[in-house]
Amino acid sequence: GTKVLVVDADMRKPTMHRQFGVDNTLGLSNLLTNSVGRDDLPGTIKKTKEDNVWVITSGTLPPNPADLLSSTKMALLVQYMSARFDLIIIDSPPVIGLSDAPILSRIAHSTLLLVSANNVSRKSAKAALKRLRSAGANVIGAALSRFAVGKFDYNYAYKYMNYYYYQYGGELPKLEAK
């Protein structure tokens, strides 16, 4: 029953329109640049196939995403949408190398750091977390994505973990008593 709005604020390499199978002609960049007519305004918030989930796609790729995201209009848009939705999820570009994510983390109520397994080193993840915190983000946690237990590289991570550590239910192998 929770009303959820997903905002694709990655205006460099947007993906949410593909994830939800919706058009990306009008979206966030158009809202922030006033290039949406009053009649087209309702079309920027698109209903998805999922119950109680709407999406604002990134829209036309702008030349200055960081300037748009740091604008007063972006903050006002988030505030306006917060009154109409129970949860707003803002998808941003990567933290390292761009200013977009730290900018958005200041606008958002809380920030969840997503780390792609086997693509991001621990050093880079720590640097991203430090960068978000220095921007004033309320970091509530981190999540590991694209993690496959079957493809777990023992040399890359903790050596004491094993496949059974991630199993739920069922019997775990036991040492035989002598």
Three-state DSSP class for 161? Answer: coil
The side-by-side arrangement of strands in the sheet containing 4-8 is 46-47, 53-56, 4-8, 87-91
Q: What is the DSSP letter of 152?
A: -
> For the chain, percent helix, then strand, then coil, each to nearest 5?
35, 15, 50
pTM summary value: 0.78
The model's pLDDT over 121-166, given as tens digits with 9 standing for 90+, comes to: 889 999 999 999 999 999 999 999 888 776 655 555 444 444 554 4
The model's pLDDT over 22-74, given as tens digits with 9 standing for 90+, comes to: 999 899 999 999 888 778 878 899 999 999 999 999 999 988 899 999 999 99
d(CA 113, CA 141): 6
| Cβ(45)–Cβ(56) below 8 Å | yes
Spell out the domains of the chain, with CATH numbers in brackets: 4-166 (3.40.50.300)
